[in-house]
Amino acid sequence: MKITELLDINSIDLNPQISNKEEAIDHLVNLLDQSGKLNDKEIYKESVLNREAQSTTGIGDGVAIPHGQSEGVKTAGLSAMVVKEGLDFKSLDGQPTYLFFMIGAPKDSEGAHLQALAQLSTLLMEEDFRNALINASSKEEFLQLIDAKENKKEEVKEIVHPAVLAVTACPTGIAHTFMAAKALQQAGEALNISIKVETNGQEGVKNQLTQEDIEHCKAIIVAADKKVEMARFEGKKVIQVPVRDGISKAQELVEKANNGDGEIYHHEEKKEKQNIIRLFYKHLMNGISHALPFLVTSGVLYGILYLFKDQVLTNQLLILTSNVQQLISIMIIPIISAYIADSIADRPGMLSGFAGGLIVCQGISITSISTSSPSLLAGIIAGFLAGFVSLMLRKLFSYLPQCLKGIEASLFHPIISTIIVTLLMFYLNSYLYIGHTYILNYVSLVESQMSTKVLFGFVLGMMMAIDNGGPINKTAYVFSIGMLISYDYYPMAAVMAGGMIPPFVIALTATLFKDRFEVRKDALMNYINGISFISEGAIPFIQKESQIILPACCLSAGLAGALSMYFNCSIASPHGGLFLIWMVQNPISYLSLIVCSTLVGTILLILFTKLKKES
């Protein structure tokens, strides 16, 4: 639906007498009501205020888009106004707001307001267009400007196939995925090269590449640290890089793709050409990323049960919750094993990977051991073993007569691979358990003495800040997940604290020193990244000034990890940041050490900046 179909001329005001945010919202609601879009403006206004209470809809660059979805809306619509002298709308960038659009959507509109919000945000990205709307001399001109802009965009989409395609994906599907997508899109705009980016995030595949897109493009950039669908790129030029390169080397990658660089992709041969370390990392992260929802849910349920520990044995609802938590916990290692195998050998490897993981988490072996804690290491080995067994069977089954090909994938392959992997893990599990026990005993020894425990926390915290989502960061994170599965919750608290510090340091520095960063709005957004345990938000700033910002972030993140260990903080969930502070053991100490480490990091950053200027 076009914006001009939602915006009535009666719901536009180019010269209102408005003095504050409350009056602005009231006036926009009245404009929307004047155009006949509302059933009950008070009910609708309540939905707008509820949305505003979550976070400001002043998106910056002089624009605000308050919105609400409510039973008070009859049909989806827009109202708009221009305050030429500017208004304090509490925008994200702290600057005055001049251009206002309000979106109203019925309760059952299935996200119509979100579609309108996305369209508006896209149109309003260009400064010249925003200025033209602000300076429009009449309502008719205001509408004509929007109509012309929309038509221009539609014409481009109809006649142009993107020259470059890209796919971005990271293990958690939160920060790196979308930061890389944004960086590649901005690089395409800067170089005047048409580009389309598909994201493989937490909500699934968005902006999916079509077969027509693939046929007409010059090359495809795959910036991913987990498995993405590659068979569709058969015969096309593909540039494969880690997702971090999609952020830091976006312009270089877009230029290469536009020049037709990259290797011709052949799906069956591809796996032999990749670097063995990168392949291992990619397969491992595919398993971890699929297990994260299970880990988080199990951890949160554990936290709820811990709060009511005295009633767990008597309350039926808590008993049910405990049973569900245990079942989800049992699934974690089999899921990791299954999706590692899937990454290596596609779906034929999943069943045997899952079976191998079940043997690990149940402690089944030739010596009839019963493990007191599951081994992530053994689960990872089971996954890789299942993947490679499936690859070998695929090679052997290629010699089968054509008449048996139809039942190969559904019968022969899963049954035989499961039998082989089950027998191998049945034999190997006792030896892997010995290794697992040795690791646990060593970590317990480290944690038994305060000096080594604090040093251990410092190393874990620093690892989280060294490359902010890269291999070193993920090594610390995966290790902590292994300890989490084995019921040692201290390393995860240290890792989470260390991962939150870099974005907090960037945000606090931008708050105290307004001119420290080129784009202050992006720096301030790191408060949200920090609270959410998304350390990747610091990457763009660290990359520009790594010699100054990186040491400050590493030292302060290490301090956070060390203090977390010192105060015996622990958490049973691998994600969630400060949203799960109620789950942390010693939460007051945990909050205090994060604040303290952020202050230290900010002081170090300013000090290093001053020393750099003096030198």
- Catalytic residues, by residue number, are 67, 170
Helix 413-448 / helix 376-397 crossing angle, nearest 10 deg = 160
Sign of the alpha-carbon dihedral angle for 272, 275, 280, 281? negative
Element (H, E) at 58: strand 58-60
Strand partners, 87: 97
Measured in residues, the chain has a length of 615
Q: Measure Cα distances from 492 to 270, 292, 331, 461 in Å.
A: 36, 14, 20, 10
Number of Cβ within 10 Å of residue 320's Cβ equals: 10
* Token duo for residue 59: 């998106």
Whole-number Å distance between alpha carbons of 583 and 580:
6
Contacts of 126 (CB under 8 A, 6+ apart): none
Element housing 578 (H / E): none
* Spatial distance between the Cα atoms of 466 and 554, rounded to a whole number of angstroms: 6
Report d(CA 314, CA 305) in Å as an integer: 12
> Which candidate, 201, 51, 183, 156, places its Cα nearest to that of 113?
51
Tokens matching residue 600:
């230290």
User: How many Cα atoms sit within 13 Å of 92 on the Cβ side?
Assistant: 23
* CA neighbor of 506 nearest in space, from 457, 545, 459: 545
What one-letter code names the amino acid at 130? R
The DSSP output letter for 79 is E
Give SS3 for 160: coil
